[in-house]
Structure 1
Amino acid sequence: MTRIPHETSGEPNPLEVLGLETLRRRTSIKWRAQPEDVLPLWVAEMDVPLAGPVLRTLTRALELGDTGYPAGTGYAEALAAFAAERWAWDGPAVERTALVPDVMRGVVETLRLVTGHGDPVVVNPPVYPPFFDFVRHMDRRVVGAPLGADGRIDLDVLEDAFRRAGADGGRAAYLLCSPHNPTGTVHTAEELTAVAALAERYGVRVVADEIHAPLVLGGPGFVPYLSVPGGGRGLSLMSASKAWNLAGLKAALAVAGPEAAGDLARMPEEVGHGASHLGILAHTAALRDGTAWLDALLAGLDDNRRLLAELLAEHLPAIRYRPGEGTYLAWLDCRALGLGDDPAEFFLRHGRVALNSGLPFGTGGAGRVRLNLAASREVITEAVRRMTAAVEATGRGRA
């Protein structure tokens, strides 16, 4: 489905609505982890107001004192309608969904369904750091299958990881990040079909973190893993959290492919108790009525992606940046600047810009940083200005 640019959707670009003075009044981690003179472009929070339908839904609930326990299947129904409209996919049938507190908690619970203690879980580094932390905390073993130099899944490397993961006879799983964090890579239908074929060949169960699914900026569009041939044995975690900036309003859905419905049915009912009633109301409103706001956001993010590429090419050409087609995250290769393994520490100390260090993302993270594009053009421009000044003031090279 073709998205509607914000110029014609009737919605302003959400990234240009709030000024720094207003944003600094926020009390979330993005705006409280560093001193006020630091520009925060790190953690995955967006500098946007709530979408109108979400704000109205929450206001109405608070006015009613509707702050009890959740009920009904409205969230799952809203996801199904959104998936049908945006991705031409009728896969998230309500009867094959389960409420979970958030995506990572859902990842843990679905992995518990298809693996046991000490079993291997394959991941594609560089990848979202909690993948490592949560998997190890639940007493599973991480097996790395690094992305290729082009930032895409290397099927030969993945096959080798699947082979190694299954060598000891355990129940292996593959934790797929789609779209990929931090690279912004959007996996194609062909790639995902090949993944499903490998998973079937080696008896590996696929659990897909698809939290960034609505945030695809270009290319052929998002492809749900469960929609590809052979994907029916997979499990997916989905949420409106990232696309509508609702991380503080906990709610997500686990979705089973047709052949995994029996697995999902074994998930303990109490897992869903951690989801917030207000969160469910907010996520449901976003998926049902927040698509015009989302389209305006996507257009703004697309503009920011081009802006960052232009600014880096002009002022910091030694930084390599391959714009991704999804997420609002930019993965920057700073190795040519000679800033060591952790350029984020350099830019924070010398430029007062907070970025994510690449090191916690695993193999391929050294010398790289992750930058959050979900900010105004003014903030992104100022961040690159500060980064440039820091490089020049310390005598670092500009290749």
Structure 2
Amino acid sequence: MSVLPLQALPLEILRQRSSTKWRSYDDDVIPMFVAETDFALAPAITSALMRAVEIGDTGYTPPRPGIDTDFAAYAERRWGWRPDPTRIRWTGDVMMGVVEVLRAVTSPGDRVIVTPPVYPPFYDTVEEAGAVVERVPLVDDGQRWSLDLAGIERALAAGARSVLLCNPHNPTGTVHTRESLTSLARLAHRYGATVVSDEIHAPLTHAPSVFTPFLDAGAEAAAVGFAVTSASKTYNLAGLKCAVIVTGADETAAVVQALPWEVEWRAGLFGVIANRAAFAAESDAWLDSLLVALDDNRRLLADLLAEHLPRARYRVPDAGFLAWVDVSAYGWGDNPAPHIRREAKVALHHGPLFGTEGVGHVRINVGCAPDVLREAIQRIGELASRS
């Protein structure tokens, strides 16, 4: 039986939301910048949260909230990988988990490799941990992006102590291949380094691409790796704080177990409740419908750009609801997003925040109704025709 696409909520409902996406700009601006989506919650999540409110279940997160076994079952069901629940801990959000792991595996002044263009908080997180950013940009062969394994090896050989991986990659939507992840793990193992993998966009991998959890990319990956993830991006739960930190070996599990106790206490009870409901099998049908909607939109964007912004460069992403688009041909400066927001009334994410590779780029959130996407690109196309 075919799966129907999930329908986005009407704009009159969305504009009642109080989150960043809907409170940063006036109502004449179409917001397509921050990674919030425009869909109703999965019914299982709504039910779980409503029940918690009804009975006043708003206290402290329990010492064994159950998200470890729920995530392990979810990973096995969706990706064919069964992490050991005893090696799964929890915290407030993915970046909290990343910074705490980096603090534990690096010393002040150590270099941590990032692979730009990459999610802007990566740079801040490395610095918050007391380390120093080492840039090794993705390789762009004109068809797809990939890890620069030779560049990463040079950085590791020169003393870099960790790799902060984005898997799948934000903003390009690249799903790293099993082969590249295995090679990365071998390099890290050879040079005594670690890999911290942000896997928050993993559930949004589009066929025929296949997501490989870093810890499942071989014995060396399990030995050197830490994965941090959450249901928050896929199920639109960023305001409900919860993420999991996953390890695959006794040594790395011991590192996480030794983190300060308050790292786990940062997970909010509503975040745990919502994440558990998201990871439950009863939410799988909702996710499948979401994937159909996002698949339609990522392809629709290609058609809209061809019609309204034919000089823009865009590759349909392997995963997620974020599109990386080069609009430098239109002469809107190194950072086109402010100009587009002022003149076309469409708010996009600023490309240069992702690294110097983002000059002339914007990131577009396609997690919306098709008609909203059409209106946004038509507005930008009209701006181009006036330029």
The residue that corresponds to 1:10 in the other structure is none
* Shift of residue 5, structure 1, vs aligned partner: 5.0
Counterpart CA distance in 1 for 2:8 and 2:90 is: 33
> Which 4+ stretches in 1 moved above 4 angstroms?
none
The residue that corresponds to 1:102 in the other structure is 93
- Match of 2:307, as an amino acid? E
Counterpart CA distance in 1 for 2:182 and 2:130 is: 29
Are the aligned partners of 2:99 and 2:128 in contact in 1 as well (CA < 8 Å)? no
- Greater displacement, 325-334 / 215-224: 215-224
The residue that corresponds to 2:312 in the other structure is 319
Structure 2 counterpart SS, 1:355:
strand
Residue from 131, 138, 148 that aligns with 2:129: 138
1:48 correspondence with 2:39: yes
Size of the aligned set, in residue pairs, is 379
Residue from 326, 329, 352 that aligns with 2:322: 329
Residue from 237, 243, 246 that aligns with 2:234: 243
1:152 correspondence with 2:138: no
Counterpart CA distance in 1 for 2:209 and 2:174 is: 12
Alignment of structure 1 residues 172-191 onto 2, 5 Å: 172-191=161-180
The residue that corresponds to 2:362 in the other structure is 369
Residue from 349, 353, 357 that aligns with 2:350: 357
Are the aligned partners of 1:5 and 1:299 in contact in 2 as well (CA < 8 Å)? no
* Shift of residue 190, structure 1, vs aligned partner: 0.5
The residue that corresponds to 1:227 in the other structure is 216
Counterpart CA distance in 1 for 2:22 and 2:149 is: 40
Superimposed CA distance per residue, residues 315-343 of structure 1 (whole angstroms, 9 cap, x where no aligned partner): 21100001111111000011122221011
Counterpart CA distance in 2 for 1:372 and 1:70 is: 32
Give the TM-score taking structure 1 as reference length.
0.93
1:265 correspondence with 2:260: no
Residue from 68, 71, 87 that aligns with 1:76: 68
Superimposed CA distance per residue, residues 46-80 of structure 1 (whole angstroms, 9 cap, x where no aligned partner): 00111100000000011000111122242111110
Unaligned runs of 5+ in 2: none
* Shift of residue 220, structure 1, vs aligned partner: 3.4
Unaligned runs of 5+ in 1: 8-12, 167-171, 395-399
Are the aligned partners of 1:5 and 1:296 in contact in 2 as well (CA < 8 Å)? no
Structure 1 counterpart SS, 2:25:
coil
The residue that corresponds to 1:290 in the other structure is 283
Structure 1 counterpart SS, 2:202:
coil
1:6 correspondence with 2:3: yes
Superimposed CA distance per residue, residues 154-212 of structure 1 (whole angstroms, 9 cap, x where no aligned partner): 2112222222334xxxxx11100000000000011001001101111222100000111
Are the aligned partners of 1:101 and 1:276 in contact in 2 as well (CA < 8 Å)? yes
Give the TM-score taking structure 2 as reference length.
0.96
The change in CA–CA distance for 1:313 and 1:295 in structure 2 (over 3 A counts) is same
Counterpart CA distance in 2 for 1:331 and 1:235 is: 27
- Greater displacement, 214-223 / 127-136: 214-223
